[in-house]
């Protein structure tokens, strides 16, 4: 039994494997959100609201992306599944998870102590966009991927960085807190366009993956082959998935923002 998904070099089988570290991580996220909402409700003197359905859905998406079989395939067998993990962990699950905190819980971040101040700084749109872009670039560099994916701790570090970067990136879009009052709906749309659809980093990674004549990542190129899948085709598919998947998520998010903007303006 492995604690976390990582490249093992063993031939792939469809035999189920247990990853208790993944289960613990998901449980701690749920427990942390419950405790945060409880603290906010107690301070406001109101009953604690139930968990938001989208937050629970985000937990499910995150769990599916980390656990067997997606987590195991993406950790050491297929670059395309590794890219699917990135899309789910950084672009799909975070906006759903950010539906979890209640208004009373978010009110706790308006204080002047160290933690609220740090959260406000890290989630400021410009810094969040920069941090997201830097983390995406670093965690897709071949030297970083080939070094970290061979150990459980290294693989977990990439997974946590993706999830954390996604939460920072989506925070100013999803959570309309007072500190971001100037972050209006049109600005949010531009923010998503810049961060996901016309990002030089995204375009660069897509180009390298889709048009490179040789695979970029040794951990996937040298992995035990799966029947019918060549390493080069796998890497090219990863590039296509990053391009199409990122654009699709951005389009859906911008559509939601546009219709909300139209409804509020009417």
Burial 13-33 (b: 16+ CB within 10 A, else e): eeeeeebebbeebbeebeeeb
Q: Note whether residue 130 is domain-resident.
A: yes
Long-range contacts of 229-238 (CB under 8 A, 24+ apart): 229/78, 231/79, 234/78, 234/79, 234/80, 235/79, 235/80, 235/209, 236/209, 236/210, 236/211, 237/79, 237/80, 238/79, 238/80, 238/82, 238/83, 238/209
Q: Note whether residue 181 is domain-resident.
A: yes
Cα Rg, the chain, nearest whole Å: 19
Q: Note whether residue 3 is domain-resident.
A: no
Q: What's the pTM value of the predicted model, to 2 decimals?
A: 0.93
Q: Which domain holds residue 83?
A: 20-265
Q: Note whether residue 189 is domain-resident.
A: yes
Q: Note whether residue 4 is domain-resident.
A: no
> What is the secondary structure of 52-113 as a DSSP string?
PHHHHHHHHHHHHHHSTTHHHHHHHT-HHHHHHHHIIIIIIHHHHHTT-S-HHHHHGGGSSS
pLDDT per residue rounded down to tens, the chain (266 residues) = 789 999 999 999 999 999 999 999 999 999 999 999 999 999 999 999 999 999 999 999 999 999 999 999 999 999 999 999 999 999 999 999 999 999 999 999 887 677 888 888 899 999 999 999 999 999 999 999 999 999 999 999 999 999 999 999 999 999 865 555 678 888 999 999 888 866 666 667 777 777 777 788 999 999 998 988 888 889 889 988 888 888 899 999 999 999 988 888 76
Q: Note whether residue 11 is domain-resident.
A: no
Count structural domains, the chain.
1
Q: Note whether residue 13 is domain-resident.
A: no
Q: Note whether residue 12 is domain-resident.
A: no
| Residue 57 exposed, middle or buried by CB count within 10 Å (0-12, 13-18, 19+) | middle
Per the structure block, which two tokens stand in for 177?
Answer: 């807190």
């Amino acid at each position: 039994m492995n604690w976390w998904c990582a490249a093992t070099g063993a031939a792939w089988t469809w035999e189920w494997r247990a990853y208790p570290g993944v289960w613990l991580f998901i449980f701690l996220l749920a427990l942390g959100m419950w405790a945060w909402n409880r603290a906010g409700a107690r301070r406001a003197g109101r009953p604690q609201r139930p968990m938001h359905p989208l937050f629970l859905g985000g937990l499910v998406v995150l769990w599916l992306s980390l656990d067997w079989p997606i987590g195991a395939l993406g950790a050491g067998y297929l670059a395309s599944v590794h890219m699917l993990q990135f899309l789910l962990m950084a672009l799909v699950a975070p906006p759903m998870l950010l539906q979890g905190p209640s208004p009373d819980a978010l009110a706790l971040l308006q204080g002047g102590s160290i933690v609220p101040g740090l959260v406000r700084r890290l989630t400021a749109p410009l810094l969040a966009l920069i941090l997201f872009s830097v983390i995406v670039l670093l965690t897709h560099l071949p030297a970083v991927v080939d070094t970290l994916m061979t150990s459980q701790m290294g693989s977990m570090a990439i997974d946590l960085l993706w999830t954390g970067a996604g939460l920072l990136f989506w925070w100013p879009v999803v959570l309309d807190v007072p500190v971001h009052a100037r972050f209006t709906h049109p600005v949010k749309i531009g923010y998503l366009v810049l961060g996901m659809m016309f990002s030089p980093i995204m375009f660069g990674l897509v180009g390298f993956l889709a048009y490179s004549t040789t695979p970029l990542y040794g951990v996937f190129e040298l992995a035990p082959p799966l029947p019918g899948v060549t390493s080069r085709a796998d890497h090219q598919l990863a590039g296509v998935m990053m391009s199409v998947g990122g654009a699709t998520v951005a389009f859906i998010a911008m559509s939601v923002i546009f219709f909300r903007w139209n409804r509020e303006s009417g």
